[in-house]
Amino acid sequence: MNKGRTGETTTDKAIMTCADFQERLPELFETKADLSADEHLKTCENCAALVRDLEYIAQQAKLLLPIHDPSPSVWENIRTAIRNDESSKSGPPPLPSVPPTGV
């Protein structure tokens, strides 16, 4: 177990962050890249789950729209969904606030 949180200033381009990966996702889907071989997906369950979701969405989109490829607007919607998902994660937790227990 190496959390490796030393060296914040290291510009390690070999390691793709989740943000980098998700930014590339629409492109990867469009080019039909082999996502199962992606190094980031092998190490990141979070993004692996996201890809499974997107694959499901893409499948549904193709079923609804029997065309060769989903329209760019589909990917725009996915991008927007990712952004919203990310921003909601970085915001306050969606748990109901516990009222202070006064005595």
| Residues forming the site for Zn ion (CB under 5 A) | 18, 44, 46-47
| Contacts of the segment 16-20: beta carbons below 8 A, 24+ positions apart | 16/40, 18/44, 18/46, 18/47, 19/86
Q: Which is nearer to Zn ion, 47 or 74 (CB)?
A: 47
Q: Which is nearer to Zn ion, 60 or 84 (CB)?
A: 84
Least gap, CB of 47 to Zn ion (angstroms): 3
Least gap, CB of 18 to Zn ion (angstroms): 3
Q: Which is nearer to Zn ion, 15 or 65 (CB)?
A: 15
Least gap, CB of 50 to Zn ion (angstroms): 8
